[in-house]
Amino acid sequence: MAESRPRRRLVVLDRDGVINADSDEYVKSPDEWHPLPGSLEAIARLHRAGFDVVVATNQSGVGRGLFSRETLEAIHARMRDAVAAAGGRIAGIYYCPHRPEDGCTCRKPKPGLLRRIEADFGQPLDGVPFVGDKLADVEAALAVGARPIFVGTPRDDTERSRLAELGVETHPDLSSAADALLAR
């Protein structure tokens, strides 16, 4: 009988607002990509502790014609390089290029991106931490049985009450969330 491989430890992160500063004008170039304080070091700590860090991000700026897929890849190359310089590694980046009105299955809160991660990594995301800064991230995590972790400040009372109703773990930032994950 063949030995089964140990299940890899995954953690899924949203990008904008979790790893880097979010912008209402979109992050449209590598020069506009700025890591949030402590985020690169948090990814490095997770990586060193044996986590495969995966990014799942909505990037409707592509569908809106604000930047190309090639530019998005350049932004992601800058992010990977910054994470590597801090001693970490990103095992995969998954993005939805569609606009909200396109009706795709990959735009969070729909679970398409997360289903692709499950397929590519060969394991369900049941119980896997998903760190995000929007209710759409929480809903996507719940849709696949992942464990949602909210970082930042809820945008309004509706979001705050929904997070409380769902009992979602919250932290001020990725660094704090990573510390909590590593303490378990």
The β-bridge relationship of strands 90-96 and 129-132 is unpaired
Q: Give the per-residue pLDDT at 126.
A: 96
- Asked about 16 being catalytic, the answer comes back as yes
Q: pLDDT digits over 26-62, tens only?
A: 999 999 999 999 999 999 999 999 999 999 999 999 9
33 domain residue, yes or no: yes
Given the residues 14, 133, 137, 173, the one annotated as active site:
14
DSSP H stretches of helix in 11-134: 39-48, 60-63, 69-85, 112-121
How sure is the predictor about 6, in pLDDT bands with cuts at 50, 70 and 90? low
Bridge partners, 55 (sequence order)? 13, 93
Bridge partners, 57 (sequence order)? 95
157 domain residue, yes or no: no
132 domain residue, yes or no: no
Under 8 Å between Cβ of 18 and 133: yes
Q: How many domains does the chain have?
A: 1
Average pLDDT in the 119-135 region?
97
104 domain residue, yes or no: yes
158 domain residue, yes or no: no
Burial of 94 (0-12, 13-18, 19+ CB in 10 A): middle
77 domain residue, yes or no: yes
Closest CA to 174 of 14, 1, 29: 14
179, pLDDT greater than 90: yes
CA distance 92 to 28: 20
* Domain of residue 92, residue span: 9-125+138-148+164-182
3, pLDDT greater than 60: no
Average pLDDT in the 74-98 region?
98
State both tokens at 119.
């397929």
Q: Give the per-residue pLDDT at 5.
A: 44
2 domain residue, yes or no: no
1, pLDDT greater than 50: no
61 domain residue, yes or no: yes
pTM, full prediction = 0.94
Q: What is the CATH number of the domain that holds 16?
A: 3.40.50.1000
8, pLDDT greater than 90: no
Closest CA to 60 of 134, 127, 123, 5: 134
